[in-house]
Amino acid sequence: MELTSVKQRFGIIGHAPALNHALNTAVQVAPTDITVLITGESGVGKEVFSKILHQLSRRKHGKFIAVNCGAIPEGTIDSELFGHEKGSFTGAFEARQGYFETVNGGTIFLDELAEMPLGTQARLLRVLESGEFIKVGSSKVQKTDVRVITATNVDLMEQIRKGKFREDLYYRLSTVAIQIPALRERPGDIPLLFRRFAVDFAERYSSQPVQLDAHAQEVLASYRWPGNIRQLKNVAEQMSVLAPYRLVEGDEVRRYLPAESTARTLPIALGLPVGSEDMSERDILYKVLFDMKKDIVELKQVVARLMQSAAESGVEMPSRAAFDHTTDWTHAESVNRPVEADVIQGPSEIVAHAMPRRVVFEDQPAVEDIEENFSLEEVERRMIEKALRKHSGKRKYAAQELGISERTLYRKIKEYGMEEG
């Protein structure tokens, strides 16, 4: 089958060589029952490729189901995938079929594979090796004929090194690997995708489609797009509704592009290079707080030196009244005390300096040295609470805001005792 017809059938837009290579691989492997591992960042369209693999296979008339492993709580994922017997656990009031039983003869797409617990990974390996599984609470071996397609946005080899993913399962799943390029790696496709989204939203909202001038196209092409195609689609929808004119210029486009994530621009986090998979959310928090501490300490040292120099040279300092109308700062200790950086404490706590609340320029130069201890758990808790409030308690969108899976968010909510009453 030609790539052009595949793109038209499944709504794929773009001509980037990396995209065409991924599509060619999918078309070639689709007619077989080979297990496929789809990799790529969040929002690049991994589920679309799973549907291509199913629709072009001999199983196209069978069932297809997409399972987000990160959205299923760890305690219930075995039941969801393999089923359970009545009374096998609290709340199991009746027997239930799992996906591997109900989709027999079809295709299962397991997204966010890296979030799957180790115990469930062992059960999955048995299905792949022998086609056998056992329901939760049962001792009866059952057979199934299901093709498994998996996807992940993390480095599974790194997860193996951390002991979070089974090496034998990785090699069983990655018989064929399909890497989908990020949107920033195919800038020439961005105007084409935007045009398609703009036309679709114009039809939905009964309006004229927005168009981009040359400068606006350059702005979109140069943006990093951390959310990939999903983010571009959201931006196109915003512009379709909110743009005052149907021809959008470059400066106008920037209003709809959020600031890129700090995590993507940090040069180093605890000695790790950018892009390293070792950079967890916790590592990023450490880095942000550490940089905050370092910057404020340096600022205090500069202010102290300037004020000390001014005092020694007899320069008259501004009065307190000169600053009271624009500041809310309070009295302070003498800068004659040496300014020293604090030491970062244990693995769960990092010390960062707050800005001086008030600097008073009187007879003696003075600067306040106030410190705050930032508990990493407290920072994490506050971020979660803020995201949940922003999205009215909807955990799916809160998890997307925080850049973590729903299952990780669910675990954090339980860990911090934040369950809704």
What tens-digit pLDDT sequence spans the chain (421 residues)? 689 999 999 999 999 999 999 999 999 999 999 999 999 999 999 999 999 999 999 999 999 999 999 999 888 999 999 999 988 888 778 888 999 999 999 999 999 999 999 999 999 999 999 999 999 999 999 999 999 999 999 999 999 999 999 999 999 999 999 999 999 999 999 999 999 999 999 999 999 999 999 999 999 999 999 999 999 999 999 999 999 999 999 999 999 998 754 344 343 333 444 444 444 555 556 556 656 766 676 677 777 777 776 666 665 555 545 444 444 444 444 444 444 444 434 434 333 343 444 444 444 444 444 444 456 677 788 888 888 888 888 888 888 888 788 888 888 888 888 865 4
In contact, 317 and 361? CB cutoff 8 Å: yes
- For position 328, what pLDDT does the model report? 45
> Are 144 and 100 contacting, i.e. CB atoms less than 8 angstroms apart?
yes
Domain 184-260 has CATH 1.10.8.60: yes
φ, ψ of residue 248 to 5 degrees: the values are -100, 130
Q: How confident is the model at residue 268, as a pLDDT?
A: 37
Q: Answer yes or no: are the C-beta atoms of 40 and 182 closer than 8 Å.
A: yes
DSSP-assigned letters across all residues of 158-177: HHHHTTSS-HHHHHHHTTEE
Whether 184-260 and 3-181 are alike in CATH topology: the answer is no
The C-alpha R_g of the chain, in whole angstroms, comes to: 28
Asked whether 291 and 299 are in contact (CB, 8 A), the reply is no
User: According to the model, what pLDDT value does residue 363 have?
Assistant: 46
Cα–Cα distance between 252 and 262 in angstroms, integer? 23
Architecture of domain 377-415: Orthogonal Bundle (1.10)
Domain chopping of the chain, boundaries: 3-181, 184-260, 281-369, 377-415
Contacts of 169 (CB under 8 A, 6+ apart): 121, 122, 124, 125, 128
Structure confidence at residue 46 (pLDDT)? 96
Report pTM. 0.63
| Architecture field, domain 3-181 | 3-Layer(aba) Sandwich (3.40)
Q: What is the pLDDT of residue 261?
A: 46
Structure tokens of 102?
A: 């109900």
What is d(CA 313, CA 279) in angstroms, rounded to the nearest whole number? Answer: 48
- Report pLDDT for 93: 85
Cβ(12)–Cβ(23) below 8 Å: yes
- CB atoms near residue 359 (< 10 Å): 20
